[in-house]
Amino acid sequence: MLYVIGLGLSDERDITVKGLDAVRSCERIYLEAYTSILMVEKEKLEAFYGKPVTIADREMVESDSDTILANAQTVNVAFLVVGDPFGATTHTDLVIRAKELSIPVETIHNASIMNAIGACGLQLYNFGQTISMVWFTDTWRPDSWYNRVKENSDIGLHTLCLLDIKVKEQSLENMARGRLIYEPPRFMTVNTCLEQMLEIEENRGEKAYGPETLAIGCVRLGTPTQLFVSGTMEQLLDVDFGAPLHSLVLVGRRMHVMEAEMVRAFCPEEHRAKFDEIYKRDYES
């Protein structure tokens, strides 16, 4: 059996009882570690599971799935995913490959950013399409995500923005020279995401959002240091959100009065007068 198991959002204790039982039945355990991270090292997982854990980087998952699936017809193998296996990132390629090899697959779900984001005060039913924001470079400033934000904005829906992480990435020079030297891990901040989004709005000028659009910085979701800060996009540019992981929500115009009350509670006192002004002008129905 191949078990595809969600780990939840925070630490080794967030796994479900069903997931833990499955892990402890497995001969090999792989931890997918390039689309997101837990807030603990794998050694804590190993101590909790009583089993060794192998880190599965992007190259292994995408190019060497046979290693993960080896003899899974006769032994149990676990593939662990931070959050939910089919939440923010899907792993359908691995599941399809397993089925091609006649390997039974069982998925064990868990909390992910896609449902836990409701803790920011906005109703999940009022979210539109989710986007992923990657780091801009001097020569590459992608804006294909803007169209989805605009579609959400046009019908008043909220937009969840998932922010880029770089784990075990090579520089272009090292990649070109074939040197297996990896850059230190990097995690995009809410501030960088806002800067990039405002730059694209200035370039596109289609008014999907703007400096006075209400937004919520959502950081370390599901952990003891979980934090939400609301305000305008411009106000949030200067907030120190601290350690990763970060995400951002753009608030849609159809914000219900109960949503507004919750979101306002996350707004710093000095910004609430501006929040109230913008809410009455642009959001209150």
Question: Residue positions in the annotated binding site for S-adenosyl-L-methionine?
Answer: 9, 84, 87, 112-113, 163, 221, 246
Do the beta carbons of residue 1 and residue 104 sit within 8 Å?
yes
Instruction: Find, among 186, 182, 100, 201, the residue nearest to 137 by Cα.
Output: 186
Widest Cα–Cα separation across the chain: 64
Instruction: Find, among 191, 231, 240, the residue nearest to 212 by Cα.
Output: 231
DSSP string, 123-135: -GGGB---EEEPP
Binding residues: 9, 84, 87, 112-113, 163, 221, 246
Instruction: Find, among 137, 263, 158, the residue nearest to 208 by Cα.
Output: 158
Structure tokens at 72: 């899974």
Torsion of CA 242, 111, 250, 277, to 10 degrees: -80
DSSP string, 86-121: TSSS--HHHHHHHHHTT--EEEE----HHHHGGGGS
Query: Cβ–Cβ contacts within 10 Å for residue 163, how many?
Result: 21
Separation between Cα atoms, residue 134 and residue 124, nearest integer Å: 24
Query: Cβ–Cβ contacts within 10 Å for residue 131, how many?
Result: 20
Contacts of 191 (CB under 8 A, 6+ apart): 236, 237, 238, 239, 241
Contacts of 84 (CB under 8 A, 6+ apart): 6, 109, 110, 111, 112, 114, 115
Give the SS3 label for residue 230: strand
